[in-house]
Chains A and B, each alone.
Chain A
């Protein structure tokens, strides 16, 4: 009996713990209590990617407006935290691509910080060529894989 009480107490403690946890997921269908405005902001931040030329990490002019939109939204919703994920196409070698992916993530990071985003809202990682968005060879696939993804990790 005592044992059941202990298990029950543990389950309740766990449930209470989950109740207090900061929301860190935006899975579809998940009732996270977000306002429609914030939900739309998260979609705008995550949906648009920055793409790069081969072996390059400079932000092309056509992505600057998009980054400005992300920056404005992040400044408006300061609870949003974003992980910038730098990626490469399959042609380069793995170790060099990890470094290049980091440079790509850093390029977006620095641009967002320059636009006034609090650095504590951002983190970076490079997956090199290990996390392609599109499978296959050829420039059509490669150009989609040389990218920065923006993932909301907390809000």
Chain B
């Protein structure tokens, strides 16, 4: 009930003027990525009265969250003349000048009108320092210390959406596989920020290739025990796992289409082919087959494009199929071993891993220009790339510093590790709460 109230309240926008909505926009998708300087004003309970209990804790989580955004630089509070403990949380008592002088583009204020211990409301606002325009403002009522991570995620998603048009990163949960030993791996979930780590399957054998349904209800995966392959299906509603067998020997790399159907490579004669399953996980039709290995389908958000791996030209390469026309085009043109394609939800990019003499590396190809770009450089082996719903963030598995999951972006740059508490593979993005848009 409390959670429902909180969620309801998240929908309450304090006052969001149309002029503010048209304010600052950060181009994170273009080649010249902007850097945004953001200052976090100290959380306050009243004029110059710092909120040191839940206020300080929330601030810390927000800082940790924002450190995952490579285009955001947090202003050092010491660089703000007069300090960050403010007289007011909004104009006219909010002094923008000190933040302008510190080089901040945005200032975020946090106001706890009834104090910050127990169960209290909190108001968070973000302003552009140059114009004083409000990017957004929200009240989160009845917040307890337990709710702080969720409030921080909601705020950061809203901030990201206000700046870039898409807040999916902070609304996402990664499904991944954690290995316990030889032929022993189960499916886990974690927020990209490393919070809410939990195991969702507990089956003997090896689980692989988890994939979220677009509505966030199911996670499907390949499951291999000593005797057989099967499609594993975890239902978030019941918490139960089904193991579905198919005729033949393989069940490889399932993925959901945008209309909540599963595509998966299954045996069909001599070679595995990519089948589309219906809503009750029965074979519906072949999406791609032939006298070669065809595996690892992945779709854009319209469901009209499918990237996959095929050995039709000898070694494994990445191909793209237009499901409307049936036309198949080769995507990867360099290297002899390209696999694990993942199509960006907006359909403009394909990310994949390539075997090099130093291990696997991740490459992104722009489908408009055909330009390919290497975005990871090891050390170790970088594999299993996966696009976030925003088509910007990419999660991948790497052996650098042990087997772990890392985050980067479509532009590459420093990779940040997602804490998973053990050897982790196959990160796949999903939104258990459903997409906001």
A interface with B by C-beta (< 8 Å): 55, 83, 91-96, 98-100, 102-103, 105-106, 124-128, 130-132
What is the CB-to-nearest-CB distance from B426 to chain A, in angstroms, rounded to a whole number? 8
Are the C-beta atoms of A94 and B208 separated by less than 8 Å?
yes
Q: Is B360 a contact partner of A93 (Cβ separation < 8 A)?
A: yes
- Given A55-B337, A95-B208, A103 contacting B353 (CB threshold 8 A): no
Distance between B266 CB and nearest chain A CB, rounded to angstroms: 11
Taking a contact as CB atoms under 8 Å apart, the answer to whether A130 and B224 are in contact is yes
* Most chain B beta-carbon contacts within 10 A, residue among A83, A91, A99, A125: A99
Instruction: Select which of A83, A98, A132 is within 8 A of B250 by beta carbon.
Output: A98
Contacts A98-B222, A99-B265, A125-B228 hold; do A93 and B384 have CB atoms under 8 A apart?
A: yes
Please report the C-alpha to C-alpha distance between residue A70 and residue B84 in the assembled complex, in whole angstroms: 79
Any A CB within 8 A of the CB of B209 = yes
B227 touches A125 (CB 8 A): yes
- 21 residue pairs of the A-B complex, CB under 8 angstroms, read A55-B315, A93-B340, A93-B355, A94-B383, A95-B209, A95-B340, A96-B309, A96-B340, A98-B208, A98-B222, A98-B229, A98-B253, A99-B272, A103-B270, A103-B293, A106-B249, A106-B270, A125-B227, A125-B228, A126-B249, A130-B183
- For chain B, which range describes its interface: under 10, 10 to 19, 20 to 34, or 35 or more residues? 35 or more
Q: Which residues of A contact B360 (CB under 8 A)?
A: 93
Q: In the bound complex, how far is the Cα of B248 from the Cα of A102, in angstroms? A: 10
Mask: chain B, 141-183; 1 = CB below 8 Å from A; 0 = not: 0000000000000000000000000000000000000000011
Nearest-CB residue, chain B, relative to A90: B381
Give the docked Cα–Cα distance between A6 and B209 (Å).
Answer: 47
Q: When the two chains form their complex, are residues A131 and B316 in contact, meaning their CB atoms are under 8 A apart?
A: no
Q: Which residue of B lies closest to A109 (CB)?
A: B249
B295 interface residue per 8 A CB criterion: yes
Which residues of B lie under 8 Å from residue A131 when comparing CB positions? 182-183
Q: Are B249 and A127 in contact, with the CB atoms below 8 A?
A: no
Q: Is B267 interfacial (CB 8 A cutoff)?
A: yes
- Contacts A93-B339, A95-B295, A96-B296; is A130 near B249 (CB within 8 Å)? no
By beta carbon, the residue of chain A nearest B315 is A55
CA A132 to CA B183, docked complex, whole Å: 10
Q: Is the Cβ of A92 less than 8 Å from the Cβ of B355?
A: yes
A81 to chain B, nearest CB (A): 12
Write out the residue numbers on chain A whose beta carbons fall within 8 Å of the beta carbon of B424.
Answer: none
Residues on A with beta carbons closer than 8 Å to the beta carbon of B337: 55, 92
Contacts of A106 in B (CB 8 A): 249, 270
- Across the interface, do B265 and A91 meet the contact criterion of CB distance under 8 Å? no
Residues of A within 8 A of B226 (CB): 125
Using Cβ atoms and an 8 Å threshold, which residues of chain B touch A102? 249-250, 267, 272
List of B residues within 8 angstroms of A126 by Cβ: 229, 249-250
Output the nearest chain B residue to A57 by Cβ-Cβ distance: B293
CA distance A106 to B183 in the complex (A): 21
A108 smallest CB distance to B (angstroms): 13
User: Which of A55, A93, A103, A125 is B383 in contact with, Cβ under 8 Å?
Assistant: A93
Distance of A150 Cα from B437 Cα, bound (Å):
53
- Give a binary string over B325-367; 1 marks a CB under 8 Å from any A CB, 0 the rest: 0000000000001011000000000000101000010000000
Whether B309 and A95, one on each chain, are in contact in the complex, defined by CB atoms closer than 8 angstroms, is yes
State in angstroms the CA–CA spacing of A74 and B360 once bound together: 42
A98 to B309, CA, bound (A): 13
Given A55-B315, A91-B355: A96 and B293 within 8 A (CB)?
yes
B281 CB → nearest A CB, Å: 19
Residues of A within 8 Å of B228, CB to CB, are: 125
Tell me if B208 and A99 are in contact (CB < 8 A): no
Query: In the complex, what residues of B have CB within 8 A of residue A124's CB?
Result: 249
B252 at the interface (CB under 8 A from A): yes
Interface code B17-29, partner A: CB below 8 Å = 1, 0 otherwise? 0000000000000
- Complex CA gap A124/B272 in Å reads 14
Which residues of B sit under 8 angstroms from A99, Cβ to Cβ? 250, 252, 265, 271-272, 293, 295
- Distance of A125 Cα from B425 Cα, bound (Å): 22
Nearest 7 A-B pairs (CB), nearest first? A95-B253, A99-B293, A93-B339, A96-B339, A98-B252, A102-B250, A95-B296
Known: A93-B384, A102-B249. A125 touches B315 (CB 8 A): no
| Cα separation A125 to B271 with both chains bound (whole Å) | 13
